[in-house]
Amino acid sequence: MPPRLDVDARRAQLARAVWHVVLTQGVGAVSVRTVAHEAGVAVGSLRHVFPTRAELLEFSAELIVQRAAERVRAVPQDGDPLAHALAVLEELLPLDATRRAEMEVNLALVAEAPALPRLAAIRDEAAAGIALLCRQAVERLGGRDDESTVRRLHALLDGLALHLLSQEPGEDVTWARALLRAELERIASHHG
Amino acid sequence: MPPRLDVDARRAQLARAVWHVVLTQGVGAVSVRTVAHEAGVAVGSLRHVFPTRAELLEFSAELIVQRAAERVRAVPQDGDPLAHALAVLEELLPLDATRRAEMEVNLALVAEAPALPRLAAIRDEAAAGIALLCRQAVERLGGRDDESTVRRLHALLDGLALHLLSQEPGEDVTWARALLRAELERIASHHG
DNA sequence: CACGTTGTAGCACGGTCGTGCCACAACGAA
DNA sequence: TTCGTTGTGGCACGACCGTGCTACAACGTG
């Protein structure tokens, strides 16, 4: 007895509409009306799956984190630890339109955190996940598993992400990949 | 013939009110009414110095950048290039309540950039200024003035700033200073 | 004194906001 | 068929929004 409406699909559709509004009109333009209109449904239908605006925003943020986590999980685990680590961490860099949009939306939603405390919690969970990935990368590369090594990698990763975000969508991104690769090679060469 | 009202002081007072609202209620709560109330003036008075809401927000963002630039300019230029570079770049890290608030507000305002394009321009100017400081630091430390060295330092700096922001206000910050110092020492030891 | 300038205070308009609430269609189960 | 469930669409309320506009007080200048 499947429900006549696929609630999860509808939720994802509305979350995508949120992302689109954020990207084109800014997070200030996100309202139940604009999002419903963007998704092509009535406000009442939106409110059937998201009774309040907060739930809509929180789900949208959670879905972004979840998508990124899935992409990381889907990275093939071949023999070369450096190539694998690079591939994993590059999934967290806005190197194409999709990842760029995700990061931009995430940043905008996080900026609303004082009003929606749940968003701060989502941000913290995501940060913890990325920190874990950095730690695993350091371990598999055989680097010193200093706390400082992990933290430097993590900070460098997020700093690169931030700078990629503020350059125009079409611009060159190879410099960022090269910098990340250099850091991973540097970690691998410092055995401890 | 000084004007009876110090317009610049009034503007700064209102900008501070903007910051306070952003920090306590989120950027979504910034309106001419809330800001005027926070500053203890009538809406009409606010609009006497900031005819539109956009001008209020833009000035608030500009003032933050300007303050940071002044702090950097005020760093004493002693003999040790490493200590000087460290002191300069630490001014751009949210290591105390003041710098923390500045950065938090800046992030929130930047998230509004799609709606207020002027804010994106302010963000880009600030980024260019920080990039210049990073370049100067690399030069004075005698490091390779690779583009990649400068970009790496800049990314690490902003990544550290981001991570400091998401930890609680009272927590330990020495790890970030240590990481920044290590990076500068590394640059100084790679002559080219 | 009168007069223009400067600054304060606030009313009112048209609009958008989130949300409570209801009417109604579509459907499966009885 | 009749019923309850599920989903759609939308009206309406009170609140808040930015801003155009006016009334008025306070002041320097003539």
pLDDT in tens, B29-62: 999 999 999 999 999 999 999 999 999 999 999 9
Of A67, A174, A161, A105, which Cα lies nearest the Cα of B162? A161
Share of chain B above pLDDT 90, in %: 84
Query: Given pLDDT bands bounded at 50, 70 and 90, which one contains residue A192?
Result: low
The radius of gyration of chain A from alpha carbons, rounded to an integer in Å, stands at 19
CA A36, CA B57: separation in Å to the nearest integer? Answer: 28
φ, ψ for residue B79 (rounded to 5)? -75, -35
CA of A33 to C1' of D9 (A): 13
Q: What is the mean pLDDT of residues A2-18?
A: 89
Q: What's the pLDDT at A115?
A: 87
Q: What's the pLDDT at A1?
A: 40
Q: What's the pLDDT at A3?
A: 58
For residue B115, pLDDT over 90 is answered with no
Q: What is the mean pLDDT of residues B104-116?
A: 87
Interchain proximity B162–A155, CB inside 8 Å: yes
Tokens encoding B150: 């400068």
CA of B65 to C1' of D28 (A): 37
Q: What's the pLDDT at B3?
A: 57
Considering CB atoms only, which of B24, B111, B166 is closest to A27? B111
Q: What is the mean pLDDT of residues B113-121?
A: 90
Q: What's the pLDDT at B143?
A: 84
Residue nearest to nucleotide C27 (CA to C1'): A4
Write down the mean pLDDT value for chain A: 94
pLDDT in tens, B119-176: 999 999 999 999 999 999 999 999 888 999 999 999 999 999 999 999 999 999 999 9
CA A140, CA B12: separation in Å to the nearest integer? Answer: 52
Q: What are the structural domains of chain A?
A: 1-51 (1.10.10), 65-189 (1.10.357.10)
pLDDT in tens, A94-134: 999 999 989 998 888 888 888 899 999 999 999 999 999 99
Q: What's the pLDDT at A79?
A: 79
Q: Count how many Cα atoms sit within 13 Å of the Cα of residue A140 in the half-sphere of its side chain.
A: 18
Residues of B within 8 A of A26 (CB-CB) are: 111-116
For residue B2, pLDDT over 80 is answered with no
Q: What is the mean pLDDT of residues A139-149?
A: 93
CA B157, CA B77: separation in Å to the nearest integer? Answer: 21
CA B92, CA B155: separation in Å to the nearest integer? Answer: 12
Q: What is the 3-state secondary structure (H, E, C) of B85-114?
A: HHHHHHCCCCCCHHHHHHHHHHHHHHCCCC
Q: What's the pLDDT at B1?
A: 40
Question: DSSP label at A66?
Answer: H
φ, ψ for residue A143 (rounded to 5)? -80, 170
pLDDT in tens, A42-56: 999 999 999 999 999
Considering CB atoms only, which of A27, A115, A160 is closest to B155? A160
For residue A2, pLDDT over 50 is answered with no
